[in-house]
Amino acid sequence: MTTRSRHFRETRPALPGHDLRDATASPIETELSRYGAITIWRALPDMRLAGSLAADVVAGLTSRPKELPPKHFYDARGSELFERITELPEYYLTRTERAILEAYAPRLIEDLRPQALVEFGSGSSAKTRILLDAMRAAGTLVGYGPVDVSATALEAAGEALAADYPGLAVDGVIGDFEHELALPFGELPRLIAFLGSTIGNLDEDTALAFLRRVAAQLHPGEGFLIGFDLVKDIVRLERAYNDAAGVTALFNLNVLSVINRELNADFDLEGFEHRALYNEAESLIEMHLVSKSTQTVRIEELDLDVAFAEGESILTERSRKYTRESAERLLTRAGLALRHWETDEHGDFALALAAIPATAPRS
């Protein structure tokens, strides 16, 4: 028989610039569980969560050119489709990053000796477990702090990991990394991770602002592990986003399904086609949804009609590709120093370990 222990799942506001444990509010939910303590902190107001899609749709679909941020791909269906993408033969990114991480994690953990892992957007947590396993093997593992906009995703990840890592303290933060928020486990030595080359989805100003916020919360001796997809043969890049099975096309079109469901819109998914191409001048892949005809879409919840010309597109994702030089330049501008650069034998992908410079002043 499994012994059940008391488990408190709490949602509290987190104050920017403060340690999460300094935030004051009462827990709103308590339950019994067989696992350790899981705490969910809210750093994103409910109103922002509810209004984010509407605001982005209004801003993006009334602009020229039209665009939508990629974060709205990831409802349950979108997350399922993305997991399928990671297994496609054309999509080298996930398996290459995982292989680098498996080889590098033991050395990384032995060098840093972190007691907590803080991670932006862990997804299925497959790569998370590589780091947690290395920390457990080194005898340093105390806590895990996932940061995600989805409370459901945080709870699911927290429950699964707490089950597999007895005694693990999980402090999840409901928050958007594009906004200021306090990171958990500030009282412990941490490794902060931003895997999956998500940095490539951010424009330069947004990426710099995000990295500067991370740098401001890093303590001496802590590390920031970040994934960079690297510049390579254009044919290989474009195949990775135009797979033969059409899964990426379904993933791209799913954002229209999200708008239909959440905002009572009438997008005809058959009226748009997926297109991904490499912008060599800016070193990035662009994903578009292209209108097959002249049409008007009604978005009832916004009282908005959106007209499309034949061939007009919605830009749904940018995925910047880096070199070591451009990645290091970005980190340096953000106040971070590149400590290690780990890549695969083909130079397809890199994991960079950054830290605050030894001489950097602390505020």
pLDDT in tens, 223-234: 999 999 999 999
Query: Which CATH number fits the domain that encloses residue 129?
Result: 3.40.50.150
- The total of structural domains in the chain comes to 2
Checking if the pLDDT of 361 tops 80, the result is no
Reported as a single tens digit per residue, the pLDDT across 209-221 is 999 999 999 999 9
Name the region of 136 (left: φ>0; alpha: ψ -120 to 50; beta: rest).
Answer: alpha
- Mean pLDDT for 263-273 is 97
Quick check: helix, strand or coil at residue 131?
helix
pLDDT value at position 359? 67
**Bridge partners for 339 per DSSP:** none
Determine the Cα–Cα distance for residues 252 and 206; give it in Å rounded to an integer: 22
Confidence of residue 19 (pLDDT cuts 50, 70, 90): very low
Same domain, 222 and 339: yes
Does residue 53 lie in a domain region? no
Same domain, 141 and 224: yes
CB burial string 270-297: b at 16+ within 10 A, e below: eebebbbebeeeebbbbbbbebeeebeb
Same domain, 149 and 264: no
Contact 189, 165 (CB under 8 A): no
Confidence of residue 44 (pLDDT cuts 50, 70, 90): low
Same domain, 223 and 346: yes
Confidence of residue 45 (pLDDT cuts 50, 70, 90): low
Q: Where are the beta strands (DSSP E) in 149-212?
A: 169-174, 190-194
Pairing state between β 284-291 and 313-320: antiparallel
Range of the domain at 69: 65-88+234-320
Same domain, 139 and 73: no
* Unique residue bearing structure tokens 């488990």: 7
Does residue 184 lie in a domain region? yes
Same domain, 148 and 77: no
More confident residue, 147 or 175: 147
Determine the Cα–Cα distance for residues 255 and 249; give it in Å rounded to an integer: 11
